[in-house]
Amino acid sequence: KCRTGPLDVVFVIDSSRSVRPFEFETMRRFMMDIIGNLDVGPNATRVGVIQYSSQVQNIFSLKTFFTRADMERAINSIVPLAQGTMTGLAIQYAMNVAFTTQEGARPPHKRIPRIAIIVTDGRPQDRVTEVATQARNAGIEIYAVGIQRADMNSLRAMASPPLEEHVFLVESFELIQQFAKQFQDKLCGVDMCVEREHGCQHSCVSTPGSFYCECNPGYRLNVDGKTCAPIDACADGRHGCQHHCVSVQGSFSCRCRAGYYLSHNKRSCIMIDYCSFGNHSCQHECVSIPNGHYCRCRSGFTLQPDGKSCKATDLCNGVDHGCEFKCVSTEGSYHCMCPEGQQLQADGKSCSKCGAGHVDLVMVIDGSKSVRPQNFELVKQFVNRIVDLLEVSPHGTRVGLVQYSSRVRTEFPLNKYHSADEIKKAVMDVEYMEKGTMTGLALKHMVEHSFSELEGARPLSHNIPRIGLVFTDGRSQDDISEWARRAKESGIVMFAVGVGKAVEEELRAIASEPVEQHFSYSADFTTMTHLVENFSLNICPEEGKGETEIRSPCECEALVQFQTNTVAILQSLTEKNILWACSLAQMTARLEDLEKQIANKK
């Protein structure tokens, strides 16, 4: 067998009509004899076969088969084309297709000889000189084998130099098998690696008439063409290793720094989580670092000398807390406090005195049919007189207004207006609803909506009193007990004002404790002066009387101020708007004088 080294061999076989069937069979045997003496395989010699006449047909390419048995089966199945003789076209196909890397030819840098064996029996019907020159310049070594009627000039035009080693003329197809042995010697030649002192450091590869040196995997051939040097696969910087690249015989591997391990992609590194081992003994938090871990305490704690336990710190002494009065440390935090009678402001640090009359006030007025339009106007004037004496502002008193009859309507919420003038104008624009008296529904609306932070009520933590003032002139058409109870339980101080046919039992159910100080009743709207006389009573128990303090000083101050203002408004409103009520008051005074005189006489 030919042992001179790997080759890329392509047979270019003439199957024109001048080649008779039995003659074509001898060409099959010629190819199989040559292949039988080659060391074929993917890393040894590769073989391809094309046939041509007026066209070119690929039988199998250099990458198709790697065993002689497969190649012989493919050669035996060839059906001759039996047309013209386009030898130039066949050489063009071999150069542009058969000897490409896509079809299985080894890359030029591997220096594997590319050999085309052209077997023809006649004169080409196209030009061969120019295309054969191009093929030889592309590195293809051409052997031209002519049989019987072949044109010698055409063979010489196709073959590589020296012509005496690459041009063969066989007298008949019968002699081609005898020629195969001679051609085999020419093709394989002498094993130059054996016959000469090649000087290759690793291995020598023979080629027809020459040799070249190769290096083992992981090494590259030096410029002298003989010695080898290790390939540094890390040097080109394309390894992608996150930490370290280590060259290993032409390849590389990635390694991580101490305290890290290599991830599944064999490139990136992951820090070892020493805390996950469960033996750190840290009281609060464990923090992993390369080659170990350390303990860390939560905010407000300091790490102790043992490096594991934590102790709470007095944040008030360690930070600029900014508290106006007093800083109180808690576990991991702190908060500010104000002295009794003062409120902590929204900034959580400063304190302020109670603002006189600063409350969240929602007035719920009866707009049922029994009130009548002229009395409803008196109620609106009463509301505006209250507004006149309040310090209305976003940070002072806020006022909301709800009217009800058979349904409930928010005329304006606590956060709608920020000045007394805006509120008074809105009150005068309120339209009388008429219809029924659903006081329970109105209380429900007040609790669920009017005193919500969404509608402007300040949070309970701000200690701003929430006051609900209900005006009604008759019996409620629904149950009031549940929502009256819920209103008081939610921290709303409830005042109930009844006029005319209002039911005392319902007023008492609405009013906060002590009930006597939180509800009033009068026979008609013209005598509203007496409705809120009880408001002037001191809601805050005096010291030393053994009563339980139930309100903060700020809340008491605001409620007392509210009561005082309300009484003054009712008195003024009644005197200016109800003339006949004045006459009634005079008559009442005269009767009182008579009663005193009678009493004195007795």
Does 314-354 carry CATH code 2.10.25.10? yes
SS3 57: strand
Rounded CA-CA distance 592/70 in Å is 139
Q: How many CA atoms lie within 13 A of 358 on its CB side?
A: 16
Report the predicted TM-score, pTM, of the whole model to 2 decimal places. Answer: 0.38
What's residue 539's pLDDT? 31
Which among 493, 463, 512 has a CA at the least distance from the CA of 355? 463
Rounded CA-CA distance 196/389 in Å is 124
Rounded CA-CA distance 200/375 in Å is 123
| Cα-based distances in Å from 187 to 60, 146, 567 | 21, 16, 130
Which among 177, 171, 132 has a CA at the least distance from the CA of 36? 177
Q: Report the amino acid identity of residue 497.
A: V
Q: What is the CATH number of domain 360-538?
A: 3.40.50.410
User: Strands 251-255 and 244-248: what pairing?
Assistant: antiparallel
Which among 141, 154, 147, 135 has a CA at the least distance from the CA of 187? 141
Domain segments of the chain as ranges: 7-188, 314-354, 360-538
The enclosing H or E element of 36 equals helix 21-36
Cα of 138 vs its chain's centroid, Å? 56
Which among 6, 87, 16 has a CA at the least distance from the CA of 47? 6
Which among 540, 501, 506, 536 has a CA at the least distance from the CA of 522? 501
As assigned by CATH, the class of the 7-188 domain is: alpha beta
User: Strands 8-14 and 114-120: what pairing?
Assistant: parallel
| Cα-based distances in Å from 100 to 6, 40, 533 | 16, 19, 113
Q: Which residue matches tokens 């576990």? A: 331
Instruction: Give the dihedral of Cα atoms 502, 506, 511, 513; nearest 10 deg.
Output: 130
pLDDT less than 70: residues of the chain:
1-5, 173-191, 208-209, 332, 340-342, 352-357, 389, 524-602
Q: How many CA atoms lie within 13 A of 456 on its CB side?
A: 23
For the chain, report the end-to-end CA distance as a whole number of angstroms: 162
Rounded CA-CA distance 4/509 in Å is 118
Identical fold between 7-188 and 360-538: yes
Instruction: Give the dihedral of Cα atoms 87, 93, 99, 104; nearest 10 deg.
Output: -120
User: Strands 269-271 and 260-262: what pairing?
Assistant: antiparallel
Is the separation of the CB atoms in 453 and 415 below 8 Å?
A: no
User: Which residues make Cβ contacts (< 8 Å) with residue 434, sequence separation at least 6?
Assistant: 367, 368, 369, 405
From start to end of 21-84, where are the E strands?
46-52, 56-60
Tell me whether residue 299 is exposed, middle or buried, using C-beta atoms within 10 angstroms of its C-beta: 0 to 12, 13 to 18, 19 or more: exposed
